[in-house]
Structure 1
Amino acid sequence: MKTTDNILIIDLEATCWNDRPPRGQESEIIEIGVCLMDAATGKVSRSEGILVKPQFSKVSPFCTELTSITQHMLDDEGILLEDALDILRAEYDSENLTWASYGNYDLNMLQSQARRFNVDYPLSDDHINVKTLFGELHPIVRKSVGMARALGALNLKLEGTHHRGVDDAKNIAKILHWCLRQY
């Protein structure tokens, strides 16, 4: 596994519905949670949640209940996806760092949204799937489990609001640091 001294951890939140999206709407990124973790120490030096204005959907009550993100928040504070991806490049050097996410959802969603909005993909090809790595390394769990369950298996506390990108990214950092210490 190739890693850089610092690893960028990303957790996305997207518009979602209890059932199917309403006619004409589709799942879109509404938050890019990001943190920068020192691979050796596990220390997070920087983190933020970048709110993104969806272009083809609205935040449903179900989505707000899950993430705590409201349409009003995105209308007031959200930026276009292209601008959010520029922040990753300019402020986090995202194209040159190894990056990680919990599972492949974030990787696939970022790739598809970059294509959908015809913008350059902002991340390097060096991706760590923390969910898979944890399943391979944990002596007892040894299977694919959710982030909250992985934290519990490590006797670590889930901090912040679950399903908020910025908080989940920091929690993923704790799991990734445990994984890296196993090598």
Structure 2
Amino acid sequence: MQRLLRRNLPISRQRVITCDCIKQLFASVCSSVFYLRVARSSIYSTTTTNSDTQTKDMAVTRTNAISKQKFDYLLVLDFEATCDNKSRLIPQEIIEFPCLKVNAKTLQIESQFHQYVQPQVHKQITPFCTELTGIIQDMVDGKPHLKETLEAFHEWMLSEGLMKDGVSSIFVTCGDWDLKTMLPSQCKYFNIQPHPVFSRWINIKKSFANLTGVFPRGMMGMLSKLNIPHKGRHHSGIDDCKNIASILITMIQQGHIFQQTSHPEKL
């Protein structure tokens, strides 16, 4: 029809009609682009809002998981003791006494106790012990014996508010050896009565098995399983405590709730 009209109209009039058609087409295209941009903007806004909501929900979930811990503080403990590869030392004696105070809500290491201890029976550190732990004779000579170290540790716990009513804490060890075997045996040998606080602990190996379904051989296996890089020297008491604390914190971040694994028996 337009072709028939154009044939009967003057050339100038045909140009006007053509321009009008172009204008209408351009207006239609601009309108479509505008609505497309509005729609895309709405979709992006909704996606961003949903993403922000999910992020906030994840943060809330993580906070809730941390707040569910049964203890206010987790005290990471890892003794090093006299040893030899040629004979069994009796008694075996603690020569490094480290402990980290981990806030179970903030997951921050708030304080540490670290004391080298002078052995009383086998006073010379063996070459094997030095090779294993990095502890040399000069590091223990002139240092407090176990009894004095336990007294200093008790003072540290008091100063950190760990003995206050309403404040709960528990030791965390890599295995049961530290508080089930090592400390009780040495205390018995020297007729020392340890504080009842040492009768309660968490064996992080058992906790790790509950979380992952795999019982670890040791600290290095747990670090590897959780993709945590090892730091410091293995079998340095204080370095081991720091690595165990990293395992502990990661497990809490994954939602694990720590529970006492030791039997509530008196030492």
Q: What TM-score do the two structures reach when normalised by structure 2?
A: 0.61
Is the Cα contact below 8 Å between 1:11 and 1:32 reproduced in 2?
A: yes
Alignment RMSD (CA, Å): 2.1
Cα offset for 1:179?
Answer: 3.1
Is the Cα contact below 8 Å between 1:33 and 1:164 reproduced in 2?
A: no
SS of 1:171's equivalent? helix
Is the Cα contact below 8 Å between 1:97 and 1:126 reproduced in 2?
A: no
Aligned residue in 2 for 1:13: 80
Q: Does 1:152 align with 2:224?
A: yes
Cα offset for 1:51?
Answer: 0.4
Aligned residue in 2 for 1:172: 244
When Rg is computed on C-alpha atoms for both structures, the one with the higher figure is 2
Is the Cα contact below 8 Å between 2:91 and 2:189 reproduced in 1?
A: no
Aligned residue in 1 for 2:170: 98
The partner residue of 2:116 within 51, 56, 67 is: 51
> Could you list the per-position Cα deviations for residues 122-167 of structure 1 after superposition, in whole angstroms to 9, with x for gaps in the alignment?
352331011111122125xx11321011111111111121111111
Aligned residue in 2 for 1:129: 203
Aligned residue in 2 for 1:4: 71
SS of 1:4's equivalent? coil
Which protein has greater RCO, CA pairs closer than 8 Å, 6+ apart? Answer: 1
Distance 1:123 1:68, change over 3 A: farther
Identity %: 34
Amino acid at match of 2:182: M
Alignment partners' CA distance in 1, 2:102 and 2:196: 16
Q: Does 1:79 align with 2:138?
A: no
Alignment partners' CA distance in 2, 1:3 and 1:60: 41
- Larger helix proportion, structure 1 or 2? 2
Q: Does 1:115 align with 2:188?
A: yes
Q: How many pairs were matched up?
A: 178
Alignment partners' CA distance in 2, 1:3 and 1:114: 29
Cα offset for 1:4?
Answer: 2.4
Is the Cα contact below 8 Å between 2:117 and 2:144 reproduced in 1?
A: yes
